[in-house]
Amino acid sequence: MTILKVRAVVFDIDDTLMPEREYVRSGYEHVSNWLAPRISLKANQLQGELWAIFDSEHRGRAYNRLLEIHGIDDALLAQECVQIYREHAPDVKLAESVQDVLAWCRSQGPVGVVSDGPLGMQSAKARALGLAEQGLHVVLSDELGGRAAWKPSPAGMLEVCRRMRILPRDAVYVGDNPAKDFLAAHLAGMAAIRFRTAGQLHASSEPEPGAEADIEIRELSQLRSVLEYV
Ligand SMILES: [Mg+2]
């Protein structure tokens, strides 16, 4: 088995520290409760419809599609739904098994987080999960220069290493998305671990040649056996 020698571990949030579907569930619930009285429908019906859209090709414009289904042509209302989704205080928490892994990593060295996405949304997520309170160095790439700083840009990786006072070559990034996570880590000079488990949005996608992770794990608890702190 490959063993990575490290001084610090950096985690992704969505589908790594927390299942992305948990966040989506919280957001859909919130938006449905807000929207239902405005279009005279039941919130649980809207939630069901949103999940059906989520698993279809319309995921990227879910609220436009939802309104379309009900014959409502109102781009502004769809836009308001997006804003409410992104700005809601999510009802999400770290699983106990994840807390255990973070506690072990923290006992060994600094722990970081690098996450992409609209700043307001990602900071609400990080707050709900209590990441900074647990002593994690949290870098939301959006605050480093908008979308241009999102992975696969190495900007977030370099910034988190700077904050942890760790050289990139002594750090490893743990993420789930083969389109960007491992490439970003490698561009920064860090090692990369793919966490792949059922239910993740990218569980069945594969990286382009050259964008592979160094190691793949199926449980975050496996970090204890693939990492050697030096
Ligand atoms: Mg992710």
Encode pLDDT of 62-79 as tens digits: 999 999 999 999 999 999
Encode pLDDT of 88-105 as tens digits: 999 999 999 999 999 999
Encode pLDDT of 163-176 as tens digits: 999 999 999 999 99
DSSP per-residue string spanning 152-213: TSSHHHHHHHHHHT--GGGEEEEE--TTTHHHHHHHHT-EEEEE--TT-TTTT--PPTT---
With 80 as the cut, is the pLDDT of residue 38 above it? yes
The per-residue pLDDT for 26 is: 98
* Centre of ligand 1 from the C-alpha of residue 13, in Å: 6
Residue with tokens 């702190």: 229
Give φ, ψ of 47 to 5 degrees: -60, -45
Q: What is the average per-residue pLDDT within 192-205? A: 97
- Please name which of 70, 76, 73, 132 lies closest in space to residue 106, comparing C-alpha atoms: 132
Determine whether domain 4-18+93-229 maps to CATH 3.40.50.2300: no
Please state, in angstroms and rounded to a whole number, the distance separating the CA atoms of residues 30 and 194.
Answer: 31
Query: In percent, how much of the chain has pLDDT > 90?
Result: 99
Q: What is the average per-residue pLDDT within 11-25? A: 97
Q: What is the identity of the amino acid at 56?
A: S
* Centre of ligand 1 from the C-alpha of residue 171, in Å: 18
3-state secondary structure of 43: helix
* Centre of ligand 1 from the C-alpha of residue 207, in Å: 14
* Centre of ligand 1 from the C-alpha of residue 157, in Å: 14
Contact 193, 186 (CB under 8 A): no
* Centre of ligand 1 from the C-alpha of residue 37, in Å: 33
* Centre of ligand 1 from the C-alpha of residue 228, in Å: 24
Contact 193, 173 (CB under 8 A): yes
The per-residue pLDDT for 129 is: 98
What residues does each domain of the chain span? 4-18+93-229, 22-87
Encode pLDDT of 137-194 as tens digits: 999 999 999 999 999 999 999 999 999 999 999 999 999 999 999 999 999 999 999 9
* Centre of ligand 1 from the C-alpha of residue 42, in Å: 32
**Cβ partners under 8 Å of residue 27, min gap 6:** 85, 86, 88, 90
Query: In percent, how much of the chain has pLDDT > 70?
Result: 100
Tell me the two tokens of residue 43: 């919130």
What's the predicted TM-score (pTM) here?
Answer: 0.95
* Centre of ligand 1 from the C-alpha of residue 1, in Å: 25
The per-residue pLDDT for 1 is: 75
Q: What is the mean pLDDT of the chain?
A: 97
